[in-house]
Structure 1
Amino acid sequence: MLWIYTMRKFRRWTPIVLGVLFAMPVAYSMAAESTAASKQQAIYQSTEQLNRLINQAVSSDFKRASIEHQSQSMREQGIADATLPDPKIKFGASNVPIDSWALDDESMTSVVVGIGQQFSRGDTLNLMKQKANQQADASELSAQLRSLDIARNVCRLWLQLGYLNIALDNLNQRLSFQQQLVKNNETNYSLGKKAAQDVLSVELQVTQTQESIDANKQLRAQVVSQLSEWFGAEWMSSNDPSLASNVVQWPRLQPVFEHVKPGDNHALFMQHPLIKQAEKAIAVQETDVSLQQQRYKPQFGVEVSYGHRDGKLMDGSNAPDVASAFVTFDVPIFTDNKQDRAVNAAKYKLGSAKLERDLLLQQINAQVNQQLTTLQGLDQRITRYRDQFIPQSHSHLAAVTRAYDSSTASFKDLVSANLDHLSLELNYQKLLTEQNQTKANLAYWFDGFSPAALGDHINHYQF
């Protein structure tokens, strides 16, 4: 009879037990999907906030505004330098007798008014204007470089701030577990089940974790202070720093990250402002060579004057007024030590500028390859953490929890498993931070912070 009663109870509870068992994976899967969606939403919001901060930093940067003013100054000065010199006015008297200083005693005496104009050699003026515009263009590229530097620096600091936020939460969880272990050890010590060194050892760990928390807060305050360079002191007390994330979205560069490998990647950064600036430097030197070649051509000057005479001729008639006209020019004949040397010097500077451009290309390609190699290694390590370490840690933690519930594992074992899992999670977040900071470095070279027109007259920088 007891056996029959047991079977009836089993049949009655079997559907419920099976329902719970089947529902657990579904509930876990739904919770995981909800957590993943929540994380993606947080990353999206952090990226949007970072975009706004970068735009604000670029638009309010005084250095960038100063460079733009310098560029405009170069253009204005180029127009001034490419203009003919002001004409020279001449006014005076000639052939005045020194015995009487009278203007009408001698027929040769005249009051002279004249004007003279100097003309530049060959096409010098146009070339000077062209050179000034090229230098102004190079200066404007410096402003673009400044914007890219700001975008990269703000992005890296934002990612670091996001990691520090995660690390602080991780440390607080670690401290909570350690404090629980301290209480457990103190209770067991009072019952004679633990030695004093067990209690002191965990208390030391608590103190070390508290020190790590204080160091984290100090470093976080330093990062926030660095960001306040662009956002002002009031930003430090706002809620914006708490929105920082150690992961951001990279939709513009994702295809690059997936397909580009270390090697010859010159084509990917040839449009970078730093390369364009080097090309402008070459163009300036080419114009300077043409300018020096104009020195072989003569420089002309024209002078016209009019002289009024009050004196009398020998026959008693009024002396006629006189007019003069002169054309002056120099003749570059002996060019060995002047013009030839100046042209050679300009050509050497041109060759130097080209070599500097080629060296810059090599250096940038080496930096890009280094970052790509770093990114590949980080991707592999992150995959290992995501697919192996973290799931294995979850399984180990679950096993220890079950063992503790069944009294086959101690509370110390449970806390140790949780602390190991927290350490693994923090290492994983650190790798994610390094990965995104590496992507920020690559975005600097691969046009990842390109401006997109999002308003009527404002250029915004976004990923």
Structure 2
Amino acid sequence: MHKRVFVGVIGISLLQVIAFPVMANSDLPQLITWAVEHDVAKQQIESQANAMTDAGVASSQWMDPKLKLGVGGLPVDSFALDKDPMTNISVGLMQQFGRGDTLTLKQQQTSEQAESIRKKLGVRALDVRFAMTNLWVEGVYQHRARQLLQQNKTLFKELEQYLSMNYGVGVNQAQDVIQAQLQIARVDDKLDANAQVQQRIKAQFGEWLGKQAQSVAPSQYPEWSALQAYLDTQASHQNDYLALAQHPAVRVIDALIKSNETSIDIANEAYQPQFGVEVMYGNRQATGMNGQPASDLLSVYLTMDIPLFTENRQDKQLASAQHQLGATKAQRDLLLQQMNAQVAAVRHDRTNLQQRLNRYQNGLLRYAQEKTQAIERGYQNNTSQLDEYIRAASDALNIELEQARLQADLSLANAKLSYLLNKF
């Protein structure tokens, strides 16, 4: 009976580990698609981009014309409008034009800035996918851990019932029964902690899924077909820069670089003169020197400001734009450098996790089973104690949980790598 119960504890648990297939779960992609489509941040980013586009159209227009009204040549002794031929009531219109191609370039720049904002949609979608995938992986691990704990609890309860029956007929001691009951209580505590973690994961899913997060039940790890296909063709991380350059976060900076290049073009246009036109019409009510009504007056002016002193204005604006472009390019290089280092680190972690999983699958679990069988034989022959027997079962359970944790960590590494390389 001892052997049947305890070998059942180990054997069924081992079968449970083998029975965990690594396959895709169609629920996760569907949930991610729904979350991205209904993401409030998506609406925020689109509104910001639209606001920038409209601001660009506004900034590219001519200045509003100015209306000028007044009285000229008014005699101060009488303030009469019809006494002096020089007196006239004037109305004028003034229009100032853009400096060179500045207005066109400003609209181009704001369009580029709006495009940079829109590219943040890709970053946000990738962030949501990454966060939800991480939660999903943790949910799968907790699900599998709970299955292992429940199975061990069931089999330890069988052991406790067997010991209780033998205690009734004087075969076992009371401490053996208590020892089994203590082990069951410990498993119960782990089950409670597991349930708490699973509820927290569902609550975190609520950020993207709302009320339907309570129905989320992760049970299988995602499939990493796109990532694996990439890794099969790029065994070394030396060529990862090409993939990293397509990452949405890098594309955002690329759009900013274009905007900063346009800023330099705008700064160069500041060296061009700015033109304006002014048209004035003056109405005269007095008579002229010949006794006839004085003729009305028409005036047309062309204005032009000439940038002569550029050292502290135009030169500084151009230098500022050039420095800003250099800073943005450095930002892009730094981001690529950081991401490449992260990819290299995750690649190493992934390799180490695979090696450790092989060690668990090909050695540790088998050793745990052999140790358990040896202790079981010793217990039958009264050369081993029940606490050794239960300790061996606990060790076997811990090994199974450790392997499940390694499987989860490997999936988390795949998720991180897929995020960095944009290979979900």
Q: TM-score range by the shorter chain?
A: 0.7 to 0.9
Q: Distance in 2 between matches of 1:66 and 1:84?
A: 30
**2:82 corresponds to:** 104
**1:379 corresponds to:** 354
Quick check: 2:376–2:389 contact (8 Å CA) kept in 1? no
Instruction: Give how far 1:178 is off.
Output: 2.7
* RMSD of aligned Cα (Å): 2.8
Q: Distance in 1 between matches of 2:42 and 2:63?
A: 34
Q: Distance in 1 between matches of 2:221 and 2:253?
A: 34
Equivalent of residue 146 in structure 2, options 168, 177, 186: 168
**1:282 corresponds to:** 257
- The SS at the match of 2:270 is helix
Question: Does residue 143 of structure 1 match 2:117?
Answer: no
- The SS at the match of 1:252 is helix
- The SS at the match of 1:445 is helix
Equivalent of residue 253 in structure 1, options 215, 218, 227: 227
**2:107 corresponds to:** 129
Question: Does residue 154 of structure 1 match 2:128?
Answer: no
Q: CA 1:401–1:196 in structure 2 vs 1: closer, same or farther (change >3 Å)?
A: closer
Quick check: 2:203–2:213 contact (8 Å CA) kept in 1? no
**Structure 2 runs not aligned, ≥5 long:** 1-14
Instruction: Give how far 1:407 is off.
Output: 6.1
Equivalent of residue 294 in structure 2, options 319, 326, 346: 319
**1:177 corresponds to:** 155
**Structure 1 runs not aligned, ≥5 long:** 1-31, 450-463
Q: When the two structures are superposed, what TM-score results if normalisation uses the length of structure 2?
A: 0.87
Equivalent of residue 336 in structure 2, options 356, 361, 365: 361
**1:390-430 residue CA offsets vs partner (Å, 9 max, x unmatched):** 45656777x679969x9669995876665544433322221
**2:406 corresponds to:** 431
Instruction: Give how far 1:194 is off.
Output: 4.2
Instruction: Give how far 1:93 is off.
Output: 2.5
**1:223 corresponds to:** 201
**2:33 corresponds to:** 55
Higher RCO (CA < 8 A, seq sep 6+): 2
**1:97-133 residue CA offsets vs partner (Å, 9 max, x unmatched):** 3444332222112222211111121111111111111
Q: Which moved more, 1:345-354 or 1:316-325?
A: 345-354
Q: Which moved more, 1:440-449 or 1:320-329?
A: 440-449
Q: CA 1:194–1:391 in structure 2 vs 1: closer, same or farther (change >3 Å)?
A: closer
Q: Distance in 1 between matches of 2:333 and 2:213?
A: 43
Q: Distance in 1 between matches of 2:423 and 2:344?
A: 16
- Trace 1:287-326 onto structure 2 (pairs within 5 A): 287-326=262-301
Instruction: Give how far 1:159 is off.
Output: 1.2
**2:5 corresponds to:** none
**2:321 corresponds to:** 346
Q: Distance in 1 between matches of 2:76 and 2:156?
A: 112
Instruction: Give how far 1:323 is off.
Output: 0.6
Q: CA 1:290–1:254 in structure 2 vs 1: closer, same or farther (change >3 Å)?
A: same
Quick check: 1:177–1:419 contact (8 Å CA) kept in 2? no
Question: Does residue 272 of structure 1 match 2:247?
Answer: yes
- The SS at the match of 1:213 is helix
Q: Distance in 1 between matches of 2:277 and 2:213?
A: 66
Q: Distance in 1 between matches of 2:136 and 2:391?
A: 32
Instruction: Give how far 1:341 is off.
Output: 1.9
Q: Return the letter of the residue paired with 1:249.
A: E
Quick check: 2:139–2:201 contact (8 Å CA) kept in 1? yes
- The SS at the match of 1:232 is helix
Q: CA 1:201–1:417 in structure 2 vs 1: closer, same or farther (change >3 Å)?
A: closer
Instruction: Give how far 1:213 is off.
Output: 0.9
Q: Distance in 1 between matches of 2:363 and 2:198?
A: 31
**1:232 corresponds to:** 210
Q: Return the letter of the residue paired with 2:103.
A: L
Quick check: 1:246–1:436 contact (8 Å CA) kept in 2? no
Q: Distance in 2 between matches of 1:262 and 1:198?
A: 56
Instruction: Give how far 1:257 is off.
Output: 3.2
Q: CA 1:133–1:213 in structure 2 vs 1: closer, same or farther (change >3 Å)?
A: same
Quick check: 2:180–2:390 contact (8 Å CA) kept in 1? no
Quick check: 1:131–1:287 contact (8 Å CA) kept in 2? yes
Q: Return the letter of the residue paired with 2:88.
A: S
**1:442 corresponds to:** 417
Q: Which moved more, 1:417-426 or 1:347-356?
A: 417-426
